[in-house]
Structure 1
């Protein structure tokens, strides 16, 4: 296996880790409006991800940096062609981080309510837009012979990509509801279970349609295998949350995300951005990659840094593993 193939796999792993971790993160943000009934319950939900949300975003930085260094042509075409949706995602992530930190800085109800609105919308929009973006990457976009995107924003809003956005929104929200049930106690935990079950059923319908469309359009035997794993894991997650087994449900919903992202990258390889104008103009792991020397240096750096990142992030989740409830929130909040 060539180094550019290795880095394609590593970038796929980074995006998978990001969607697994930031998926329930976004889901919790959406659930602050759908699940929480009052300000104290919203505080409980925010506290479930309070110690980890910023660490989850490290995976996005790593995925973006790895793409820039390993596949500069892919990075340039992607970020120029998808400039507006990626800018919206970036602004949302900035505002979302500020909202988490500033919400409790003042006691006024209006102040806190406005930041809570910000948390909701800046969680919902990226959850949709990531699905739209990856839907277009897999489907193919208008790339010319100069490796430049020549389409417009309207071209990105096609039925396949929009369905992909709905899948990521519902899947992340389901993942977040299962996480909420896993991390809370009391009435909010029971309602999280119930809401997760309904969200899981809706997600299953949308996901089967999207992944089936992907398989029919550009799939092979390997992608079919990951499709089956994703569907079975999703069904298992729904059954497990119905039975009150939050731990199993969270593991299976995470496996659903892993298998679904793996399927998208399997259908994409050896392309990194297919051209819908002419297949010969597609960006591939070969024509979009950096030099072998650059990839070699990156491989050594990743081999040293990645275990350290995994260890400290795993330690963070272990330290903050206990459940919380409304009785842990002071009335002043």
Structure 2
């Protein structure tokens, strides 16, 4: 295995980590409208992810930075061709971060309601658009002989990619619901478990259709294994949720995300961005990568920095591991 192959795997791992972690806090953001019945319950939901949401986004920055450094051609074509949806995601993430920080700065109900709406929409939109983006990456887009995207934004709104968006939105919402059940006490915990069942069933239908479509189009033996793992894990997550085993349910929903994203990358390799115009114009791990010297330096840097990041995030989750409920909200006005 050459270094560009190693970095393809590492970038896949970074995206898997991002979707596993940011997936549940996107889901919790969506649940602020679907689950919370009043302002204290919205505060409970927001407080479950308050200490960790910004740390989860480190994985996105790492994935984007690693792509830029290891595969500059991939980065250039992806970010120029997908400019509008990626810009919408970026703006949503910025507004979402501001909303978390500014929501409680003033006591007026209108002020807080507006920021709560921002949290909801700026969680829902990226959760959907990430699926659309990755659906198009796997499906292939209009790339010419100069490795430049020559399509338009409407080409990205095809049935396969839109189904991918539905899958990520429902899967992240399910992941967020089981996380909420794991992190809360009282009535909101029970309602989160019930909602997780219905969202999980919807996720199962959409995910099975999307993953089977992917396997038929671009799959191989390894991607088939990942598909089976994703399906089995989702069923196990639903079963554990019904038995009130929130920890196992969250773990299995996480495995579902890991296996589903891994399947997309396994279906993609050795391409990093296929061309729908001519297979010879596709970006691959070899023609889109940086020099071996650059990849070697990156490998040493990653070997040093990655354990530090993992230790820091693990410590954060350990410190904020306890359940919370409305009784822990000191001032229900805010």
Give the TM-score of the pair, scaled to structure 1. 1.00
- Say which SS state the counterpart of residue 32 (structure 1) adopts: helix
2:43 is matched with which residue?
A: 43
Distance 1:165 1:98 in 2: 25
- Say which SS state the counterpart of residue 91 (structure 2) adopts: helix
Following superposition, the deviation at residue 116 of structure 1 comes to 0.2
Distance 1:101 1:151 in 2: 38
2:276 is matched with which residue?
A: 276
Q: Does 1:332 align with 2:333?
A: yes
Q: CA RMSD in A?
A: 0.4
2:223 is matched with which residue?
A: 223
- Say which SS state the counterpart of residue 143 (structure 1) adopts: coil
Distance 2:120 2:145 in 1: 41
2:200 is matched with which residue?
A: 200
Q: How many residues align?
A: 333
1:7 is matched with which residue?
A: 7
- Say which SS state the counterpart of residue 5 (structure 2) adopts: helix
Distance 2:270 2:28 in 1: 35
- Say which SS state the counterpart of residue 185 (structure 2) adopts: coil
1:96 is matched with which residue?
A: 96
Distance 2:70 2:104 in 1: 41
2:129 is matched with which residue?
A: 129
1:76 is matched with which residue?
A: 76
Report Cα offsets for 1:137-194 as digits up to 9, x if no partner: 0000000000000000000000000000000000000000000000000000000000
1:190-269 matched pairs, under 5 angstroms: 190-269=190-269
Following superposition, the deviation at residue 284 of structure 1 comes to 0.1
Report Cα offsets for 1:96-137 as digits up to 9, x if no partner: 000000000000000000000000000000000000000000
Distance 1:84 1:50 in 2: 28
- Say which SS state the counterpart of residue 144 (structure 2) adopts: coil
Deviation >4 Å, runs of 4+: none
Distance 2:132 2:93 in 1: 17
Distance 1:228 1:313 in 2: 30
Distance 1:304 1:67 in 2: 18
Consecutive unaligned residues in structure 1, runs of 5 or more:
none
Give the TM-score of the pair, scaled to structure 2. 0.99
Following superposition, the deviation at residue 332 of structure 1 comes to 3.4
2:306 is matched with which residue?
A: 306
1:46-57 matched pairs, under 5 angstroms: 46-57=46-57
2:296 is matched with which residue?
A: 296
2:179 is matched with which residue?
A: 179
Report Cα offsets for 1:232-279 as digits up to 9, x if no partner: 000100111011110000000000000000000000000000000000
- Say which SS state the counterpart of residue 51 (structure 1) adopts: coil
Distance 1:87 1:294 in 2: 28
Consecutive unaligned residues in structure 2, runs of 5 or more:
none
Distance 1:108 1:101 in 2: 15
Distance 2:17 2:235 in 1: 21
1:118 is matched with which residue?
A: 118
Report Cα offsets for 1:281-327 as digits up to 9, x if no partner: 00000000000000000000000000000000000000000000000
Report Cα offsets for 1:32-90 as digits up to 9, x if no partner: 00000001100000000000000000000000000000000000000000000000000
